Structures are given as structure tokens and as C-alpha cells.
Amino acid sequence: MLVENQNFYRELLQHMRDGVYFVDRDRRILYWNEGASRLTGYAAEEIVGRFCNDNILNHVDGCGRGLCEDGCPLTATVADGKGREVQVFLRHKSGNRVPVLVRVQPILGEDGSIEGAVEIFSDNSAQVEAERKIEEMRRMAFLDHLTQLPNRRYMELALKSAHSEFLVHHSPFGVLIVDVDRFKQINDAAGHSAGDRVLKEVGRTLADSLRPSDIVGRWGGDEFLAIVKHVDVEGLRRLADRCVVIESTVEVPVGEQERISISVSIGAGLICPGEGFEEAVERADRLLYASKSAGRNRATVE
């Protein structure tokens, strides 16, 4: 019968879009499907037999805290047998961060004892909607061709729209200016192709670190701008700090062995009554330079 055919289940798992892997009680990885390879860049032969606490995927939460040694949902499920669902960021083999929704369930033996756990993880970056927006912006010449994010022309229109909504409905919004720290040094030391890769990864990670409703674009050079709607100062501060922390965990490969660690500085301000959007951007820009002067790799928010 079909339900008795183990090959059927193996083929079913292999062709799932989601990533799936099994671990034993020692967190040794016993199985790794094609979906896991697609989402992480690691083939099964690179992973099976290794341990989760080898920190291969370097899972972090939204605050940038490492989970592989402390806070691992697999470890907790193996310990208490309870299922879990959490949102985390894994590090792809190429070095960029990927937001994923993780679901963990225990694997039970015939006697009901816990023999391990299964983790199913899926891309949490709303990729389909993002691709639709990219294609629409490409047609309208609103796309930055290097980063595949909205360009300055689009962001200026989005700022005008957010400001109009603020004037009519009093809906607050914040502006973030994000700058790659020591970008000229990266270009000079590793070359412009490496610099381009850094900009791509910074932009992608920034978009993934913010909320789906927020708008992120390339403002110019190594600067990015984000429009964060329906937020207060403390919410804006939390989002800016999260962006700084998550960006600091990204590593961009250069050549076969070397990787570039990056950081960003951020200036962020909430729109004020009587203030034009141009003034809000200028204020965020001043706050950015306050972050730079204070030592970089930080956010200054008001």
C-alpha cells in the first residue's frame, strides 16, 4: 500500500519547498532535504552527520542573539517534547542572512520516549510579493539595478506619499538613513566587485530586518533609506537597533576563503508636526553622522 512505502515519504520530503531536517537526541543531523539545501546553500553531504551546535547556520533571533548554544528550539523540544514555532535568521552559505519561520516537533519512539526532533523551516521574506514589486518598479524605472531595491526616485515619491498621509490622517512615520561603515576602505582593499556584493547584501538584509509594510531603497552611493510607518519613537529605535545588530552578523565572501565582516551606522527620526519630509530626511542624515562620530556600528534616534 502507498502508506507503507517508505520511498514515497522520502520522495515527498525531498520535493517539499520547505527545508526539513531530522536530529537525534545529541542534535546530530540525520537527514537534510532538497528544500533545506535550497534555502541554506548547503548540500546534504555537507551537513548530514554533523551537529547543530557546530553552528553551521549560525541562527540568530531578531536581536542578533545566537541561538545554537543558548535558546535553540531543537534543544528545548528534545528536552521537553513540546512543539515550537519561532522566527529566526539563518546565515546562508554565501554569507547573507535569510529570515525563516521555524517549526519544531519531537520524534517519538514506539514507547513514547523522545528520540530526536524534526525541524521544518520556510522562507519568511514574502519573496513572491517582493518579486512582483520588483518587476513593477523595473517597468517604471524605479529600480536600482545593483541592489534590486527601489531607487532614489521611487523613495522620494514614497516620502511624499507618507507625508501626505501624515498631514491628512496624522499617521506617523519614521525615516532611517543607513550608511555602510568604512565602505571606501572595502572598495580600496577588496575591489569594486566586492563593494558591489557588500551593497547587495546590506540592502537585502536591511529589507529583511524591517517589517513587510516598511519601504527600503537605495538612496545613493553606500546609503540606504527606509520609511517606517505607524510607529512611535521607541518602536523606531527598536527597529533601527535591530537593523544594526543583524547587519553586523553578515559576512560577504571575497575569493574562495576570505570573508568581509560589515557594519552600518543609522540615523533615524520620527516625522514632527509642521516638518516637511525633506527636513525629516535632513534630520535623519544629521543623526547618521552623530552615529559615525560616536564610533560607528550604532543607531542614533530621536
- Give the pLDDT confidence of 75-132 residue by residue, as tens digits: 999 999 999 999 898 999 998 888 898 999 999 988 999 999 999 999 887 654 676 7
pTM score, two decimals?
Answer: 0.69
Domains annotated on the chain, with CATH: 2-123 (3.30.450.20), 127-301 (3.30.70.270)
Whether 4 has a pLDDT exceeding 50, the answer reads no
Whether 256 has a pLDDT exceeding 80, the answer reads no
For residues 155-172, one letter each, b for 16 or more C-beta atoms within 10 angstroms of the residue's C-beta and e for the rest, the string is bbebbeebbeebeeeeeb
Residue 279 CB-half CA count within 13 A: 8
Whether 69 has a pLDDT exceeding 80, the answer reads no
Cα–Cα distance list, 197 to 194, 201, 260 (Å): 5, 6, 10
Whether 152 has a pLDDT exceeding 50, the answer reads yes
* Own/partner long-range contacts of 296-299 (Cβ < 8 Å, ≥24 apart): 296/181, 296/182, 296/263, 296/265, 297/181, 297/244, 297/248, 297/263, 297/264, 297/265, 298/244, 298/265, 298/266, 299/237, 299/240, 299/241, 299/243, 299/244, 299/265, 299/266, 299/267, 299/268
Q: What is the pLDDT of residue 7?
A: 63
Whether 2 has a pLDDT exceeding 70, the answer reads no
**Which residues are known to be catalytic?**
222
Contact 97, 249 (CB under 8 A): yes
- Which cell numbers hold the place of 134? 520588483
Residue with cell 539563518: 90
